[in-house]
Amino acid sequence: MEIVILPDTAAIGSLAADAIESLVQRKPDAVLGLATGSSPLAIYDELAARYAAGRVSFAQARGFTLDEYVGLPADHPETYRNVIHKDFVDRVDFAPGAVRGPDGLATDIPAFCAAYEDAIVAAGGVDLQILGIGTVGHIGFNEPGSSLASRTRIKTLTRQTRIDNARFFGGDVDAVPTHCLTQGLGTIMSARHVVLVATGPQKAEAVHHLVEGAVSALWPGTILQHHPHVTVLLDGAAASRLQLADYYRETYQAKPAWQGI
Ligand code: GLP
């Protein structure tokens, strides 16, 4: 894992956008793995600004989102499909239908999940996966106890995740769906490059386990320690419990800027 500790979310957004811009330039039909949540917003804002400035185009790119609530009506503003369109997809020039996501209204859920896995493979696999991490250590919605080899499937949300996400549902925990569809940990591990963003003190414990803890289903993000190309972008608060923070800072400072992440 490469750990990069940056001063603020704008710096994180800019560095991740550099990697995505460079990917799309060398591979215009790149496949992006898109995450919802507050963590990637600075990346999407930066990419939207670069698109508006004519620096980058997603006209041939494809995207797959990570997860979706089960049972929310299609026009609900908090479906992850609607959120990713508002936060990113509709601000740039993706072709219609180029960004797909799990269907939380699928009637045959196992068949839908298998087809979703097949669609990712048929697209050539994810080139760059953007990730956040939950306070419980989940990536996507792979809650503690998830199989480290899991594929897209239905999951039950933990109480803590529903409390964390109640802010998007008027503060009402009971309005947060109880189930979700999520790419599995094995699905995420198949991406070629994973860029995980975490900011704020509430993420410090999950980041501590993610980077320096034992690999365990109890902290599902720890599976990424087995991935050959993971970049973890942190602010100082999220990095505050890392034992080797000074080492990560020195290492990144000594890295030539042209290398990127
Ligand atoms: C959510 C999503 C994850 C996201 C995480 C952190 O519940 N399912 O994909 O990465 O929790 O969210 P945030 O970035 O808003 O803190």
Q: Which of 237, 241, 236 is nearest to 219 (CA)?
A: 241
Tens digits of per-residue pLDDT, 7-59? 999 999 999 999 999 999 999 999 999 999 999 999 999 999 999 999 999 99
Distance 200 CA to ligand 1 centre (A): 13
**Which residues have CB under 8 Å from 256's CB, separation 6+?**
none
- Report phi then psi at 196, rounded to 5: -105, 130
Tens digits of per-residue pLDDT, 200-227? 999 999 999 999 999 999 999 999 999 9
Contact 69, 177 (CB under 8 A): yes
> Which tokens go with 237?
């608060």
| Bridging pattern class, strands 62-65 and 153-156 | unpaired
| Nearest atom (ligand 1) to Cα of 182 | 8
Query: What average pLDDT does the segment 222-247 reach?
Result: 98
> Which tokens go with 218?
């109890």
Q: Residue 61's Cα: distance from chain center in Å?
A: 17
| Nearest atom (ligand 1) to Cα of 165 | 7
Distance 258 CA to ligand 1 centre (A): 30
Mutation probe of ligand 1 site: the residue of 78, 129, 135, 164 with most atoms within 8 A of C-beta: 164
Tens digits of per-residue pLDDT, 121-162? 999 999 999 999 999 999 999 999 999 999 999 999 999 999
Ligand 1 binding pocket (C-beta < 6 A) is 35-39, 66-67, 132-134, 140-141, 161, 165
State yes or no: pLDDT of 257 exceeds 90.
Answer: no
Tens digits of per-residue pLDDT, 178-207? 999 999 999 999 999 999 999 999 999 999
Tens digits of per-residue pLDDT, 85-112? 999 999 999 999 999 999 999 999 999 9
For residue 139, give Cα distances in angstroms to 29, 36, 125, 240, 259. Answer: 25, 11, 18, 20, 27
Protein residue with least CA distance to atom 12, ligand 1: 37
> Which tokens go with 78?
């908090």
Q: Which of 151, 219, 153, 155 is nearest to 187 (CA)?
A: 151
Q: Say how many C-beta atoms besides its own lie within 10 A of residue 181's C-beta.
A: 25
State yes or no: pLDDT of 258 exceeds 90.
Answer: no
Q: Which of 251, 245, 239, 12 is nearest to 130 (CA)?
A: 12
Rounded CA gap, 192 and 183, in Å?
A: 15
